[in-house]
Amino acid sequence: MSEMTYRDALNLALREELRRDPSVVVWGEDVALYEGSFKVTRGLLAEFGEERIRDTPISENTIVGVAIGAAMGGLRPVAELMTVNFALLAMDQIVNHMAKIRSMFGGQASLPLVVRMPGGGGSQLAAQHSQSLESYFMHCPGIRVAYPATPADAKGLLKTAIRDPNPVIFLEHELLYNSKGEVPDDPEFTVPFGRAGILRAGTDVTIVAYARMAVLALQAAEALEKEAGISCEVVDLRTLNPLDAETFVASARKTGRAVVVEECWRSAGLGGDLAHRIHEACFDSLRAPVRRVAGLDVPMPYSRELEKLCIPQVESIAVAVRDVMTASV
């Protein structure tokens, strides 16, 4: 095990897979000479050359479209979009082609393609560059969606995504790139899709979260244990499609209370789906209604203080847990 940042864990996963499989290529805006907007592709051009690490024009629709064709032709492209917000310019390729080709060809065409996208708020990048759009992709059948919270999962899930014969949207929260954690050195270390992780065992309430919200949920759980003696079980989804509902449902059934945390907008957000699954499966076990903590339904302001109000924080998660502990059905 080695301690490294989330960023370096992603870089290591790319490097190991490029070495292992000559069909893996990395394409995107500034991924080669500039080594990526967030330096995830640092050093790859020097090691693997411009035939495999290639800068592209500023055209997200083209980046994804070419990657789709290359995947159908036998390569394993890892396409990087500079930010998830720019994926809106490629939604025709993502929704109408990337998600559907394997099904429309009756399984005769494989699509081993990964589209990496940094996203999320908290960096004072304002409304057009701070969005959390994961529910867009989760809503579309045919696409796998991964969103790791820890450096170990960043490495393991990205390696699984690259080896998968299906198209994968791989999301990375911008505020996690500098976070550190233990990462297995084994080049064959992978994390399976569709298997949530228990970041912290508990008995009083279940907190279901993912990506940066899983990290904040863990911090809230530790503070609640220390300050109020509340034992929280924190479930990190890790992948949104396939979704491991079995794990968080079992946890909610055990604790009898649940809080769902998401950074995306509350209206039609992912949390509503998660809360419904818990209510539907655990109706007779719940001691209180499921609470949701979500981003505010507003365009993200530039002001740092206003931005904090729009995104769930450790304290807002803790407040929801305290509320669910005192509520009853």
Burial group, residue 145, by CB count within 10 angstroms (0-12, 13-18, 19+):
buried
Q: Map out the domains of the chain as residue ranges.
A: 2-183, 197-324
- Amino acid letter at 312? P
- Average confidence (pLDDT) over 127-148: 96
- Rounded percentage of the chain residues whose pLDDT exceeds 70: 100
pLDDT at residue 326 in the model = 93
pLDDT-based confidence at residue 251 (cuts at 50, 70, 90) = very high
Supply the pTM of this predicted model: 0.96
DSSP per-residue letters across 126-146: -GGG----HHHHHTSTT-EEE
- Average confidence (pLDDT) over 28-32: 96
| Residue 188 is among the residues annotated as catalytic for this protein | no
Which CATH class, in words, describes the domain spanning 2-183? alpha beta
The tens digit of pLDDT for each residue in 152-198 reads 999 999 999 999 999 999 999 999 999 999 999 999 999 999 999 99
- Average confidence (pLDDT) over 305-313: 97
Q: Of these residues, 129, 173, 174, 307, which one is catalytic?
A: 129
Reply yes or no: is the peptide bond before residue 242 cis, omega within 30 of 0: yes
| Residue 129 is among the residues annotated as catalytic for this protein | yes
pLDDT at residue 252 in the model = 98
Q: Of these residues, 16, 17, 29, 60, which one is catalytic?
A: 60
191 sits in the region (left: phi over 0; alpha: psi -120 to 50; else beta) called beta
Mean pLDDT of all residues belonging to the chain: 97
pLDDT at residue 329 in the model = 66
State yes or no: pLDDT of 328 exceeds 80.
Answer: no
Give the distance from CA 296 to its chain's centroid. Answer: 19
The tens digit of pLDDT for each residue in 261-301 reads 999 999 999 999 999 999 999 999 999 999 999 999 999 99
pLDDT-based confidence at residue 245 (cuts at 50, 70, 90) = very high
- Of 192, 135, 198, 127, nearest to 169 by C-alpha is 135
Is 2-183's fold the same as 197-324's? yes
How far is the C-alpha of 202 from the C-alpha of 231, rounded, in Å?
A: 5
- Average confidence (pLDDT) over 94-109: 94
- Average confidence (pLDDT) over 80-97: 97
CATH topology for the 197-324 domain: Rossmann fold (3.40.50)
